[in-house]
Chain A
Amino acid sequence: DVKVTQSSRYLVKRTGEKVFLECVQDMDHENMFWYRQDPGLGLRLIYFSYDVKMKEKGDIPEGYSVSREKKERFSLILESASTNQTSMYLCASSLGGAGNEQFFGPGTRLTVL
């Protein structure tokens, strides 16, 4: 079974703090993704990576950065958290190839006060 794990299920931070969200997958997937999910807006892609040390911006990268130093790990960084970054953050991974589904982690519900 593919397993995608995220470092925290719930996180509360203060405005201006630096926040790290970690994601690890154990199936040697090339591709990794970070999404946020908000009511009425659905899943939106923040950043993705198709290889180690490679990263590309998704649809809403402002205020975020990422790091992929190892194939199995993809980190999302909020340099200075703001209240509008309160959301559910979902990490996903997949094999390369158009027909391969993405496997999602359990999500981190981040609240920024």
Chain B
Amino acid sequence: GQNIDQPTEMTATEGAIVQINCTYQTSGFNGLFWYQQHAGEAPTFLSYNVLDGLEEKGRFSSFLSRSKGYSYLLLKELQMKDSASYLCAVRSNYGGSQGNLIFGKGTKLSVKP
């Protein structure tokens, strides 16, 4: 079966660091995406990992361990505007040659002053 798990909600303080975890069990693996979604808006792309290790992009970093079926998104120097839902999505092997995305239910992050 296909399963992606991430915490439902997290709270953190402005200026701090927060780590959002994602574990997955899917039929095949062709990469993992993180998206940010502000309330009432569309998801926007944050990061993509296909090989093990850390990908850094400014204040955001994403890590992948394929052998453990595990990823995390690290947000540094939190700002109030980072309050949003963060969606973990795995590209599986089904749905054409590229494979479709399977989304987790999202982690709602609240950043407090």
Contacts and interface: CB of A to CB of B under 8 A. Distances in A.
A104 B97 CA distance: 21
Interface of B: 30-31, 33, 41-45, 48, 50, 87, 89, 91, 95-101, 103-106
A96 interface: yes
Interface in A54-110: 56, 58, 90, 96-107
B45 A42 contact: no
Given A98-B91, A104-B43, A107-B42, A42 B98 contact: no
A99 B48 contact: yes
Interface of A: 4, 31, 33, 35, 40-45, 48, 50, 56, 58, 90, 96-107
B96 A45 contact: no
B21 to A, nearest CB: 16
Given A4-B42, A48-B96, A99-B31, 9 more contacts: A42-B104, A43-B87, A43-B89, A44-B103, A48-B95, A50-B96, A101-B33, A104-B43, A105-B42
Contacts of B42: 4, 90, 104-107
Nearest to A54: B96
22 contacts: A4-B42, A31-B98, A33-B100, A42-B103, A44-B103, A45-B95, A45-B100, A48-B95, A48-B96, A50-B98, A58-B100, A98-B30, A98-B91, A98-B99, A99-B50, A100-B98, A101-B45, A102-B45, A104-B42, A105-B42, A106-B42, A107-B41
Contact of B95 (A40, A42, A56, A102): A56
Main secondary structure of the interface of B (DSSP, over half): loop
Contacts of B44: 104
Contacts of A56: 95-96
Contacts of B87: 42-43
Query: Counting chain A CB atoms within 10 Å of each CB, which of B48, B98, B99 scores highest?
Result: B98
A35 B89 CA distance: 13
Contacts of A100: 98
